[in-house]
């Protein structure tokens, strides 16, 4: 995975069914930038699981696991409220995704 904030360790949070497939939800406990306690990782992982379970939440094709890297925030590159996560595919790809935590305003 390229980028500055790489996931070193993670914990499993839950397994959900999305689009008829089982999907592991996990949470980072250590990255190249920080460490977080398991209890905090569990909490942000549960938030991610609830968001990913929503029908409108789209993930990269062939995602087998989704791991929350950064909890709810905005950033200079994405001013929407979102969770930054990494989608792991069956082909060993790691794709950074932003999962919106609030609906986008209607146009």
Domain ranges of the chain: 7-100
Answer yes or no: are the C-beta atoms of 13 and 45 closer than 8 Å: yes
Residue range 60-89, pLDDT digits in tens: 999 999 999 999 999 898 899 999 999 999
Q: Please, where are the H alpha helices in the chain?
A: 38-53
- Say how far apart CA 46 and CA 25 lie, in whole Å: 8
Answer yes or no: are the C-beta atoms of 83 and 94 closer than 8 Å: no
What is the reported pLDDT for 99?
A: 96
- In this predicted structure, the answer to whether residue 2 has a pLDDT above a threshold of 60 is no
- In this predicted structure, the answer to whether residue 104 has a pLDDT above a threshold of 90 is no
Angle 79-84-87 from CA coordinates, rounded to 5°: 135
pTM, full prediction: 0.89
- Say how far apart CA 68 and CA 94 lie, in whole Å: 12
């Amino acid at each position: 995975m390229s980028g500055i904030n790489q996931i070193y360790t993670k914990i499993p949070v839950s397994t959900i069914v999305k689009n008829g497939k089982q999907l592991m939800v996990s949470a980072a406990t250590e990255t190249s930038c920080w460490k977080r306690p398991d209890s905090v990782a569990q909490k942000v992982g549960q938030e991610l699981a609830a968001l990913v379970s929503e029908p409108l939440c789209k993930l990269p094709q062939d995602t087998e696991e989704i791991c929350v890297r950064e909890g709810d925030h905005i950033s200079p590159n994405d001013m929407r409220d979102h969770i930054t996560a990494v989608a792991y595919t069956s082909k060993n790809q790691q794709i950074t995704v932003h999962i919106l935590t609030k609906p986008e305003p209607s146009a």
